Every structure is written in C-alpha cells, then in structure tokens.
Structure 1
Amino acid sequence: MQTRLRGSHDSFSFWVDEKAPVGPDQKPVVKHLAVVFRLLAKKVMKKWSMTQTLTFKEQLEGGIRYFDLRVSSKPGEPGYEVYFIHGLFGHRVRDGLNEINTFLNSHPKEVVFLDFNHHYAMSIEHHMYLITMLQQIFGNKLCKCYSVEDITLDYLWENKYQVIVFYHHPLSEEHSHLWPGSNIPAPWANTTDAFKLIQFLETTLGERAKYGSFHVSQAILTPRVKTIARGLIKGLRNHLVERNLPTIMTWVEAQRPGVNGVNIITCDFVELVDFANIVINLNKLLLPNHAIT
C-alpha cells in the first residue's frame, strides 16, 4: 500500500481520568509523587499525558485513519475490562472502538489502521477479552493478515474490509485477523530537538525498504524530566509542540511517496495545523501526471 495515511500519536488521550490511580505504565517514582501530591501531581500529568484534544469521531471526520493505541487493565478491578492509557487512564477501549465502528458504518469505503502497540497489566484472559471484543465489534470488516505488498484499496473494497488491526503480542500469530507488530515498525526518536527528530526520520525512512512492511514516521517530540520541570504548568502542547510544529510540518510537506518514502505519519494535536490535508496532498504525487524524484 503506497497511499500515505494520516495518523495521531496516542490517539485516545483526548480524555484522561484524574480521579483514577496512576497507570501501570509509569515508573514507581511517578506513582509515589502522585500519592504524595495527589491532585496537583495528576493535574500536571494530565497536561503532559494528553497529546490530542479531538475525539475519535472528530479525528476521523478530520481525516485521521491511523490510530496509535496503548491499553491496560486497572489493577485490582474485577473482570477483564481494558482501558486506554498514557500515564493516566482514559476511556474504556470498548467505547472507543464502538465510536470508530459507527463512523465506518456510515462510510463503507473508509479504512482505518488500529495499532495496539503497548499492553500493560494484561493477563492472557485480558488479551482474549480484547481480541474477542475486536471480533464482536468489527466482524467482517476486519482484514485478515496478508502480504503487505498486495494490500490495495481495491483489494480492501472488493472484500469489504475496513479495519486492519496490528497487535504487538505473540497472540497475533493465533488469530488471522490480527497483524503482527513486526508488520508496522514505528521507530521512535525520543528527543526534544526538532532538528534531531528530522535527522532520525530521514535515517529510518532510508532503511524502510528492506523490511517489506508498513512504516510509521513518528513526527513527535518526547519530553524529558527537565522539559516537564521547565514547562510544568504550560504542558506538552504549549511548551513543546506548538513552537516546534512549523519545523516538523516543513519536513512533512517536503516528503515524497514511494518505496523509500513516507507511508504513515503521526503527529500530536493534529488540529493545530492542516495536518490531514498536508499528508493527503502527498498522495497526489502518486498520480501519473506528477513526477516523483
């Protein structure tokens, strides 16, 4: 599939629960601070955990088609319910998937990628609960794992597939409708420097062809402890994202499609710029009347 897809980073984080315990994805020191400082610590965590402000429906309506998902159980809670998580717990996964499915029911030619790339505090029973949930909600919309090179929109439309689920867990090998995480590498720059990020994106794109897979370019900056300390009250959006976004988007606009080009691009706060249309316009370069250099 050569079409460029627009994606959101930590797609679910438009809402997090300040009243719930700190998630199991956090280090013990963070959990300790949250207990000691309670509401203050969680308010700060919220400012740095939320990477989106649009709901799933709003992101879909805005053109986002790739969703970056982290999930977890709530330790100590009976049953096998799973929730979205990024430092703090978000909505139930079931609610988010139903929202996406409602959109797909109204738009039968739209296709989404759901990338479940982090799982926390989940037993085999939790995984089976989630896998069964995916089958129940999406049913025949789920695209079976197939050769990446042969996945085209025509193929998806012909088979009425609308959902490709990537599941970064060994259980993916036992279920035909789950694609292994190895089919969608998403190299992470782990930097606060926009120029280092761009260098990293260029390097990893150059290595893409040899894997024969989908590829996610994470056009995101990651705060460090000192970054958070300096912008404690401002939060991720105001302190880090907004001032670096012009540099990042200049790089995105300059990309080209093709085997060595971009495939899926993710971004924080996708509504801050015309992100979806910028990526969509890259697809026009695949048309016969456009020269690709």
Structure 2
Amino acid sequence: FPFNNLFWPVPSSHDSFSFWVDEQAPVGPDQKAYVKHLVAIFRFLAKKVMKKWSMTQNLTFREQLEGGIRYFDLRVSSKPGEPGHEIYFIHGLFGHKVRDGLNDINNFLTKHKKEVVFLDFNHHYAMSEEHHHYLIKMLKDVFGHKLCRIDVVEEITLNYLWEDVLVFYHHPSAESCPVMWPGSKIPAPWANTTDATDLIQFLETTLGERAKYGSFHVSQAILTPRVKTIARGLVRGLRNYLVEKNLPTIMMWVEAQKPGVDGVNIITSDFVELVDFANTVIKLNNLLIQDRPQAHDLFSDCHKD
C-alpha cells in the first residue's frame, strides 16, 4: 500500500499527559525561579492557580486514543532529590509516572490492531544519562516489537507501520538506539502567541516551508499564555480564559486544510474533547484516500468494537 505517511493528517493533543497533576508534589524543574518563589509564599493557593494553567487536556490517554488521538506530546522529568531513576510527566506540576502512561497506551494497542501511535518526548528536565537510559529501556520493555525502527521517512508506507509505535526522542542519549527517532525528524514550529490571527498566519507560513525538510510535521494549533494573560485570567484558567473563545477561529483553519506535500500532517490542540477535533482532522484524509478506503483503518479501528 504505497501511501506516504508524510501526507496523513493525524490528530494530536498538546501536553497530552496533563489531564492530572499532583498538587502535593514540589513545583517542577521546568518552572522559572520566580514561579517557585511565589509557590513558596502562597503554597497551595499558588498551586491551585498553576493547575488551572498547566492542564491542557481533560481526557486520559485511553480516552484520547478512543477519541482518535494518535500523536502524544510528552514532557518528562525526574523528581530532584528522589532516590532511584523514576520518570514523571511534567508541565509546571508533576503528573503520573511515565511507565503508567506507557502501559495504558500499550494496552490499547494490544487490544486494537492496525494502529499507529506517535510518542514525542520533546522536553526532558532534571535527567542525567542514567535517567535517559532508564527511560529508553522502559520504552523498549513496554512496547517491545511494536517499536518502529528508524527509516527514511519518505519511504515509509502504511503497511510498514501497522501496529507500530514511533518514538521521537529529542536527546543525544538516544542517538545510537535504532528504535528512537531523532527530534529532527518531527519539527514542531511554535507560534508562541496569544492571538489567534497571528497563530494562523504562523501556521500557514510554516506549512509553506515544510516540504524542504522531508519529515513529519507538527502544526501546533495552540495559543500560549503570557504572564500578563495569566494575571488577567488568574482564577479562570487556560481553558476558560484563552482556549474556548479562540477555538472557533482555530477550528475554521483546521477544517480548511488539505493534506499533501505542502499540507498538514500532525495537528495539535488543547482540550481535544471541547469540539469534534479528532474527527475533523481525520476527515481531511478523505481528500487523499477517496479511492483507498482501507487507509481509514489507521484511525477508525478503535470504533469498530
């Protein structure tokens, strides 16, 4: 089935693991000194506010998979001072252990055949070489034969990927591992804006440049709060203050996209359940596979039970 993966529109969640954060744990090492200082002063009140702005998803990994999400944006960290090499998800506050999340994803893949999942480990905090080796071994132990070996991206076909997990690991520790794809294979340009119009202009510009990289491509259809944004919407949080009011504009852009050489590949969103995000992205595949209906299995098998 000669259908190049570079052209598939794939629904993705931003900070995919952030559906739960631990308010009892220390503030994460990904935070700046002034944030840690404020938490030291205001303690649990400050963490309540952090939670409102750190959580970008409501659905668990299993629920996201059942809803059609196939790319997961992952940030990980050790807990400084904790003995051993345990790794946790992190976005301001610590989340679940990484192993627990990986097991949830693997259980889904074991139950549902003909699925492809992308795991993008793009931020690592407070991790020594031993931590990286621990995490890489964990990935091998959990997914085993499901891990997809590094190959020329342009030559990978759908049949090659069935029942595979592609792990992208943005750290030199994984360079010698044949099943850890380098971060350079999956650029994810970041607009870093609170303005939906500026975001869409950025997405259009970066899509126009993607062909020269010959790789997967992530369109981050997300807005990023500034300090003043958080101050203005302090108690309302990311979802209520920034995401919900801008989703209609962002979704209009998503619906207008086309796959192809200069088209969308992976599209990332916050709070993927608020609108019919995953199905909207999946339907873009119809523009490529109107005469190849079997390619729909990549996303739809999980709905056939």
Question: Do the structures match in fold with TM over 0.5?
Answer: yes
Residue from 151, 155, 167 that aligns with 2:169: 167
Aligned residue type for 2:207: L
Residue from 117, 125, 137 that aligns with 2:142: 137
Corresponding position of 2:52: 47
1:172 CA displacement: 2.4
Q: TM-score, with normalisation over the residues of structure 1?
A: 0.97
Offset from partner CA, 1:174-215 (integer Å, 9 cap, x none): 100000000000000000000000000000000000000000
Offset from partner CA, 1:89-138 (integer Å, 9 cap, x none): 00000000000000000012111000000000000000000000000000
Residue from 220, 224, 227 that aligns with 1:225: 227
Residue from 191, 196, 199 that aligns with 1:197: 199
Could you tell me whether the CA contact under 8 Å between 2:53 and 2:238 is conserved in 1? yes
Corresponding position of 1:6: 11
5 Å matches for 1:229-248? Answer: 229-248=231-250
5 Å matches for 1:137-156? Answer: 137-156=142-161
Aligned-residue Cα RMSD (Å) equals: 1.0
5+ residue gaps, structure 2:
293-305
Corresponding position of 2:122: 117
Give SS of 1:207's match.
helix
Could you tell me whether the CA contact under 8 Å between 2:77 and 2:89 is conserved in 1? yes
Q: TM-score, with normalisation over the residues of structure 2?
A: 0.93
Could you tell me whether the CA contact under 8 Å between 2:53 and 2:237 is conserved in 1? yes
Could you tell me whether the CA contact under 8 Å between 2:11 and 2:267 is conserved in 1? yes
Aligned residue type for 2:220: Q
Corresponding position of 2:182: 180
CA distance in 1, matches of 2:88, 2:290: 44
Corresponding position of 1:263: 265
In terms of mean alpha carbon deviation, does 148-157 or 178-187 score higher? 148-157
CA distance in 2, matches of 1:288, 1:79: 52
Could you tell me whether the CA contact under 8 Å between 2:168 and 2:186 is conserved in 1? yes
Aligned residue type for 2:247: L
Corresponding position of 1:215: 217
Corresponding position of 1:83: 88
Could you tell me whether the CA contact under 8 Å between 1:108 and 1:162 is conserved in 2? no
Give SS of 2:119's match.
strand
1:173 CA displacement: 1.5
5+ residue gaps, structure 1:
none
Give SS of 2:284's match.
helix
CA distance in 2, matches of 1:69, 1:166: 10
Give me the identity figure in percent. 77
How many residues align? The count is 287
Aligned residue type for 1:147: V
CA distance in 1, matches of 2:290, 2:249: 30
CA distance in 2, matches of 1:70, 1:273: 24
5 Å matches for 1:62-101? Answer: 62-101=67-106
Corresponding position of 1:28: 33
CA distance in 2, matches of 1:139, 1:51: 30
CA distance in 2, matches of 1:287, 1:127: 39
Offset from partner CA, 1:243-273 (integer Å, 9 cap, x none): 0000000000000010100000000000000
Aligned residue type for 1:214: F
CA distance in 2, matches of 1:280, 1:243: 23
Give SS of 2:80's match.
coil
CA distance in 2, matches of 1:41, 1:170: 35
CA distance in 2, matches of 1:48, 1:199: 25
CA distance in 1, matches of 2:120, 2:145: 18
